[in-house]
Structures are given as C-alpha cells and as structure tokens.
Amino acid sequence: MIAGMLDTAGKLLKPPSLNDRILADMHLYAVLPRLEELVRFDEEAASLARELDMRLEFTVRGGGRVVLTFRDGAVHSSRTGGANVGLFFPSCNLLNRMFAGENVTPIPFKGLTRIGQLKKFTRLTEIMTEYLKPSSEAMEDPAFRAKHVEMSLMVGLAASGVVADLDPKAQRLVDVLHDATIQYSVLPDGPNAYVSISQGTIRAFSGTVPDPTTSIEIRDVDLAVGLIAGEVDTFAANGSGDIKASGDLAVADEFNGLFDRVGLYLK
C-alpha cells in the first residue's frame, strides 16, 4: 500500500507533459472565462450567478491559476488577484480529466465555510458544457445554435492565446504577428467577437471593436456551426464568398495559423 502511495505521489510530482499543460491552460483561460458570456444570455445561469458572491481560485500544480469573481450576477475572470475560495489540482492531467467528465475531486485549500456555494458553481459549468458540447435536440433551436456559436468562437479565440504562449511550433507564427485587432462577425445579427494582438499577446473579447484591422464575416449561423464542427471546406467557403475577409488580409493569414492549432488540443 505504501509503495503504491509513493508511486502515485511520484507521478503527481512529475512536470506535466506539454500537451497536458497546454490543454490545462486552455481550460483555465479559454473555457472557464466563458461563464462571463453564459450568465448574460442563459436565464438559469443568470439566476444562479445572482446567488453567488465569491472569488473562486483554480490553482494547478505545474500549470496556471485563474480567479473567477462572482458579484451582482456577473462573472469576471483574471489571472491575478485574491480569492476567498480556493481549489487545488495536484496536476494538469487531473484538471483535464475533470473537464473530460471524469469524477475528479480537487483539494479545497481556502474558504471552507463557502464551499456550499460550489454546488451552484458546478451547475453553472454543467450549463456551459451543454452549450459547448450540445445535444442534437438542443441544436434544433436557432437561438441555442447562435449561443453555441458564440461560446465556441470565444473559446477558440481565447485558446489561440494559450497556443501562442506555450506551443513551441507556434513560436515562428508569433514572431511574425503584427499588432492588430481582428473582428469576427456572423451575419446578419451576430454573434460577434474579436481578438486583440499586442506584442504577441492575444486576448479575446465578445462583441465588436471600432475600426478593426481585419474583419471576417461568416454568412450565417448554420455555416458557423459547420465551421466549428469541421464540416466546412474553408478554402471553398472563402472562394464562394460565404466567408468574407476585408482590411489587412496578411494579418488574418498570420493569425489563422495559430487559430488552426487550437484544434490539436481542444476536441
């Protein structure tokens, strides 16, 4: 028994594999922050968020740290700042397994008197998963499909920042990235999202930005759903005008190299 415990401890103390670290950071910095959008457009999520008042920290050994602040029905994510509830994951792999749906229990290390609020937080993450990994029945609702597109687009754009930071093969792409803003819009009425590129750092935002460097317009939500599912030939869609790019097209080409690498980790 003792030998088994020592073996387990040794595995946890090993540095994470590159894939595990990148995927864990995507979960922390691209997936969890989508609660910000979720509480804005989902009624049940909004109701739950109004009942939460805490600063929840996720810390991963060998990985990153994020703090989710719940206040007045809104959610804000940050890599810095204090927290009054803390969850520790002994490895990146354990965090990734939890996001894959396995029964993984993190170690609470702060705010034990507020742990009861985590039941509401868990339900929030379940609702978020319903949008990111939807059922075929849910996708029959046009309004749901648009929300699925918005959440998925924001995850992908934010995850490209993790790729830029950690993926060695992406470094040559980062080296040629120009400072810019790239607007993504699904016609006719959204959703909309954009990325800001500044000195190789990439940040994703919901909504629109004035005077973007480059604009990418997608014909409609149905096409966007197909793009997310990998069922659309993007080269053909660009040629047919179903996807239209305007502004500085070189910037779009530079960024697309990073964006395409996200799918190697998030599936």
pLDDT tens-digit readout, 146-183: 999 999 999 999 999 999 999 998 988 898 899 999 99
Report pLDDT digits (tens) over 114-152: 888 899 999 999 999 999 999 999 999 999 999 999 999
| DSSP code of residue 94 | H
Alpha carbon separation from 213 to 93, 98, 184, 194, 245 (Å, rounded)? 38, 38, 11, 11, 11
This prediction's pTM? 0.91
Give the mean model confidence (pLDDT) for residues 216-228.
Answer: 95
Q: Which domains does the chain have, with CATH numbers?
A: 2-132 (3.30.1050), 138-262 (3.30.1050.10)
Count Cβ atoms within 10 A of the Cβ of residue 72 and give its class: 0-12 exposed, 13-18 middle, 19 or more buried: exposed
Nearest to 64 by CA among 154, 159, 132: 159
Report pLDDT digits (tens) over 40-70: 999 999 999 999 999 999 999 999 999 999 9
> Is the model's pLDDT at 9 over the cut of 60?
no
3-state SS, residue 226: helix
